[in-house]
């Protein structure tokens, strides 16, 4: 059966495995967008190392979980956001001002909302995590 939104699937699978207390999550198929999202989550300290296990069907990602995620998910529809609107969406999707991240897709790649504020740039909202 085909998956329509693999990014939403991996975020929901990570959240389920975190709530069950599992330490490793495996996911297939993978894409550059999924790897970029996971590298941001790893850089911010929400997940541990992840590695790609090649196979003949698109590969498998093995993600080490650290039990640091309370909630995560994708944002649909993908709202376009300017630098002045970031605070509005931060209030909508995150529980408090200094807790969690919004992932924004810009012309320079995926960045967090804090980096977007520093660089004075906007983009489209992709996901949130706290």
Domain ranges of the chain: 6-65, 75-129
Tell me the pTM.
0.93
Query: CATH number of the domain at 75-129, out of 3.30.1490.10, 2.40.10.340, 3.20.20.150, 3.30.360.10?
Result: 3.30.1490.10
Ramachandran region of residue 66, left (φ > 0), alpha (ψ -120 to 50) or beta?
A: alpha
Condensed to tens digits (0 to 9), the pLDDT of residues 52-64 reads: 999 888 889 999 9
Query: Tokens for 112?
Result: 């967090």
Query: CB atoms < 10 A from the CB of 2, how many?
Result: 4
Domain 6-65: which CATH number of 3.30.1370.30, 3.40.710.10, 3.40.50.20, 3.40.50.2300: 3.30.1370.30
Task: Dump pLDDT digits (tens) for 73-102.
Answer: 999 999 999 999 999 999 999 999 889 999
Nearest-CA neighbor of 15 among 54, 41, 36, 44? 41
């Amino acid at each position: 059966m085909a998956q329509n939104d693999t990014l939403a699937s991996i975020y929901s699978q990570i959240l389920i495995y975190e709530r069950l207390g599992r330490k490793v999550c495996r996911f297939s198929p993978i894409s550059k967008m999924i790897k970029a999202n996971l590298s941001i989550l790893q850089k911010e300290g929400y997940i541990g190392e992840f590695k790609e296990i090649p196979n003949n069907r698109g590969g498998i990602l093995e993600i080490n979980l650290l039990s640091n995620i309370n909630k995560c998910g994708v944002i649909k529809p993908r709202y376009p956001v300017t630098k002045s609107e970031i605070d509005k969406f931060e209030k909508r999707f995150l529980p408090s001002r200094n807790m969690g991240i919004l992932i924004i897709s810009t012309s320079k790649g995926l960045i967090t909302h804090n980096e977007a504020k520093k660089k004075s740039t906007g983009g489209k909202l992709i996901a949130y995590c706290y």
